[in-house]
Each structure stands twice: as C-alpha cells, then as structure tokens.
Structure 1
C-alpha cells in the first residue's frame, strides 16, 4: 500500500466523520467487496453510506469506514439508525486500485438501494475488477 494511501486512511479514521465501529451489535446493513480479477477480498477500500432526504432528494452522510482484510466493513450503522428510505453506498474504487499500483475505468462505484423493512438484514456485496463491477442483494 502506498504511503499516500496509508496517510489517507489514517486521516479518514481520525477525522470528524462518523466512522464504522469495529465492535458492538451486528449492523443490519453489511457489505463485502471481492476483487474478482485477483480472487481476493477488496481490503482497505474506503466507503461511505448516505441517506436521501425524501423532501429535497439531497444526500446526507450516515457513516463511513474502510474494509478490513476480509473485504468487510462491520458496524456501518445501528438498528436504531436504520430507517426506511433510499440509501447509497459509495465505494472509492480508484483509490483502491491506485494503492495496488493499477488504474481502473471506474473512479468510484455508487450502489443506490431502497429499504422498506428496516427489521430485515440487508447485505450489499460488490464484485469488482478494474473494468467491471456487479452487485446484488445478499442475505
């Protein structure tokens, strides 16, 4: 990982942003990033979760974090903070590929989804290569 990327992650974790907790009760919303081109987890990828205001359609930051060694980002939000609405998860893919000394076609990936029943568990996987990505609702 480049020195720039390490500094960026350190600054992200120390900033005033709400950052994903690493302990506590399981989040009702989870994600898992897989680098399908290399067959490894997408580790150390910055991501953020946003909620759309139903009146103005503006996006508000809910939380942010960095994927762990397994490509997961635990503790994105609490069950109490998980309300019905439209959300987006933004994955900073360009920074991820640059940290590996590679370039990519997509500078970031945003996955927009609707939550109608916050009592359920939602899983947003991202399958990624330098020139493609896919996602689906996991369980």
Structure 2
C-alpha cells in the first residue's frame, strides 16, 4: 500500500460542503516549507484528486493551509474572525491519511479521518 492524503471541508453553519475553498499543501523541513499542491474544493467540498497522490508520498511533516476567510466572505458569513487555517501534522506510514476541516464563521475542528 502506498500513502496518500485527502481532505474535505464542511461548512457546519450552513450545513453544506464548502465549495470553492482554496487549499495549499506544504512539506515541512525544520523552518523550510516546500509547496506541493494548490487546489480548490469542488461542489462536494473535496479536491478532485488526492491533495498528495501516492506517487508523491514521503513520510514527514506537512501543513495544509485552508483559505477560510475568503470562503466565508464569499458565503456572506458574519464577522471576519477566521482567515487562514494552518493544520500541521505528521504522516509516518504508507497509508491513506484523510484530514477534514469542519468550519463555521467562529471556529473549526479537524481530526484524522478514514
């Protein structure tokens, strides 16, 4: 089995997938960040392909950056509390990693999904 990374975003305030959100992926090496992917969520709140495909998988530290502020402004959400949401995590084994984001205008949560 080879490793790969997927994600999706749910807008919990509206009860809908977060379509049109830009997500960037970086590989971390100390203070250095290497850009690996720049994608936008589809109508289902997912990227059309894995954000890190099996062909690019390597164990290590990664960061997903969700552009929540731009999405929330476009959705006419109240306030302006959230902007960029960086999530840092480690992938050590060649497996499917799924890192979803549950989003509202005033907070978010994440977990390692399946």
Q: Return 5+ residue gaps in structure 1 as ranges.
A: 1-26
TM-score (structure 2 length as normaliser) = 0.90
| Number of residues of Structure 1 aligned to a counterpart in Structure 2 | 110
Computing the radius of gyration over CA atoms, which structure comes out larger, 1 or 2?
Answer: 1
Q: Which structure: greater strand fraction?
A: 2
Deviation track 1:59-85 (CA, whole Å, cap 9, x = no partner) reads 110011000000001322321211011
Q: Return 5+ residue gaps in structure 2 as ranges.
A: none
Q: Which runs of 4+ in 1 moved over 2 A?
A: 101-104
| 1:120 and 2:57 aligned | no
Q: How far apart in 1 are the matches of 2:80 and 2:47?
A: 22
* Cα drift, residue 100 of structure 1: 1.5
TM-score (structure 1 length as normaliser) = 0.75
Q: How does 1:1-139 map to 2 (within 5 A)?
A: 28-53=4-29, 56-75=30-49, 76-102=51-77, 103-117=79-93, 119-139=94-114
Q: 3-state DSSP class of the match of 2:8?
A: strand
Q: How far apart in 2 are the matches of 1:74 and 1:107?
A: 23
Partner residue, 1:10: none
Which structure ranks higher in relative contact order (CA pairs < 8 Å, sequence separation ≥ 6)? 2
Q: How far apart in 1 are the matches of 2:90 and 2:72?
A: 28
